[in-house]
Amino acid sequence: MLGMFIHADSPFPTVPGYDVAGVVVKVGRQVKNLKVGDEVYGNIHEKAFDHPKQYGTLAEYTAVEEKLLALKPKNLSFDEAAGLPVAIETAYEGLERSGFSSGKSILVLGGAGGVGTMVIQLAKHVFGASKVAATSSTGKLDLLKSLGDDLAIDYTKENFEDLPEKFDLVYDCIRQCERAVEAVKESGRVVTIAGAVTVPAFKFIVTSNGADLDKLKPFLESGKVKPIIDPKGILPFSQTVEALSYVETGRVTGKVFQDMQRLPGFEKT
């Protein structure tokens, strides 16, 4: 994960961080829909890996354009909401771009990760997939099923591309594009979010969009789609380096969360 930012990061000094959830404390003169006191969340970088802002979200305060934010779902805590934007926007945009729709089948590679857990839930509960299959390690198969997965594939015991069944869409979250194209129907699509692309797959860079978060708000407030917090829990700011190093291992379940309210002397406004 850290390596993905090397060629995209702003020059130093820089503050990392993409996702945010918090309370609006000040608005500019051109802000029309949000006001001081609103509880909001979003991804502050309109193009995730294309010239991100120099000052990100790992700080007490963040400046961000109104169009990139949405009102926080009422049933979610700030911690839960903060882990959603990049992952759920990536999942949603990939499904939209691939033309996924009700009645189609999907295979999600890396189903237990941040994006993968969102793809499973959106495909099943928002887009109306006829069948959702996903890969993970042995210990995470039950999680996949709890999210709506119909066929949980243990990648330590079987190769997904060897399955006799093929899928309308393969959503690759783990840089396995060359294998992914072996699991798709002749008329199907393959979308990948990282690594090399093997034809006929395509890759995209997620665009932050508060309007998409608004569209998905009813599914979040109803509980049909929910944030997945890694078993390590919600970490304080003092453990930022440890959190990023853990993400780099590729073993994270769902998302790793950090609580900026745990900064010394900081209180939520």
Query: pLDDT tens digits for the chain (269 residues)?
Result: 344 444 455 667 777 788 999 999 999 999 999 999 999 999 999 986 666 677 777 788 999 999 999 999 999 999 899 999 999 999 999 999 999 999 999 999 999 999 999 999 999 999 999 999 999 999 999 999 999 999 999 999 999 999 999 999 999 999 999 999 999 999 999 999 989 999 999 999 999 999 999 999 999 999 999 999 877 767 677 777 777 776 777 777 767 666 665 444 443 32
Read off the DSSP letter of residue 28.
-
Answer whether 220's CB lies under 8 Å from 226's CB.
yes
Residue in the structure block whose two tokens are 């354009």: 65
**Coil, strand or helix: which one is 51?**
coil
- Half-sphere exposure at residue 127, Cβ-oriented, CA atoms within 13 angstroms: 28
